[in-house]
Structure formats: C-alpha cells, structure tokens
Amino acid sequence: MENMVVGRLLILSLCISLAACGTTKRTYVSDSVGSSANTSYSPNTSYINMVANFAKWKAYKLPEGDQMLQEQAVFFALDNLQEGDVTEWIGESNSTHGKVSVVMTYPMGGGFCRVLLSQINYKQKVRSFKETACKNGSSKWRFVR
C-alpha cells in the first residue's frame, strides 16, 4: 500500500515537472524578478521534501504582471536613481508590492557596476535581495552572481 502511494506521488511530481518544462516563460536576469517570496524550505533529504519545497516556491512566486513591475523597477533604478534613492511599485491587487534602491556605484573596467537592494512582498511573505549589475558603455546591464 505504501509503495503505491509513493509511486503515485512520483508520477504526479514527474507530470508537474514535465509540464513546467513545456511552458514558455521569459528568462530573467535579476534574481528578484523571477524568485519566490518564500524563504522557508525543508532540507531536500527526501523526494517528498523536494516536492513540498517546489510547491512552496511555486505558491509564493510573483504573478507575471507583478514580475514585470519588479523588473521595470529594477531597470529604472539602475538607469535613473542616485545612491540612496528608492523606487516602489504596487501590484494590481494592492497586496503585492516591492521596492528597489541603489546602495553603491563603483567603476569596473571601462564601465561601472551598481549594487541594488530589492524587497518583494507577496502573500504576507517578505524577501530581500542584494544584487549587482554591471554595464560597459552603451551595453545592456549584466547581473553578476
């Protein structure tokens, strides 16, 4: 009986993961845009924990419209804000919001880098990010991990 339950869970999670592979979503360069607001996960010591962690991540991932607002805020901050300035956004539901601030700018090669602090709030979860993006001349921003 227990083997049948485990087998069904394996099949269900395989179907979920394969369905996720077939979606055509945008690829984000900023961690704060495509991440989940959840930060509380169980150790991945079992398959059940892995499936539970995936479900938590998915449940607290920003909706696509809010991801776009966060992305716009990130690039607005990179292109326009002075150090210490903050830009904020509020989602259509008014329950999702975020903010981005520039905390430091420094030269790098022929260009410069900027350090951002971002915070997203979704479903009563708050998650903060520290990211660095660099740019050479007129090139696009490239996030450094």
More confident residue, 43 or 11: 43
- Flag whether pLDDT at 134 surpasses 70: yes
- Flag whether pLDDT at 15 surpasses 90: no
Nearest of 33, 29, 35, 32 to residue 142 by alpha carbon: 29
* Average pLDDT score, the chain: 82
Using CB atoms within 10 Å of the CB of residue 46, give its burial: 0 to 12 exposed, 13 to 18 middle, 19+ buried.
exposed
What angle separates helix 2-21 from helix 47-59, to the nearest 10 degrees?
Answer: 40
Nearest of 35, 53, 38, 44 to residue 130 by alpha carbon: 35
Nearest of 2, 4, 7 to residue 47 by alpha carbon: 7
Reported as a pLDDT band with limits 50, 70 and 90, residue 1 is low
Q: Which two tokens stand for residue 122?
A: 């979704």
Strands 111-122 and 125-136: antiparallel
Residue with the two structure tokens 């920003």: 62
Q: What is the predicted pLDDT for the residue at 104?
A: 97
Q: What is the predicted pLDDT for the residue at 25?
A: 37
pLDDT in tens, 58-79: 888 888 999 999 999 999 999 9
pLDDT in tens, 81-127: 999 999 999 998 878 999 999 999 999 988 999 999 999 999 999 99
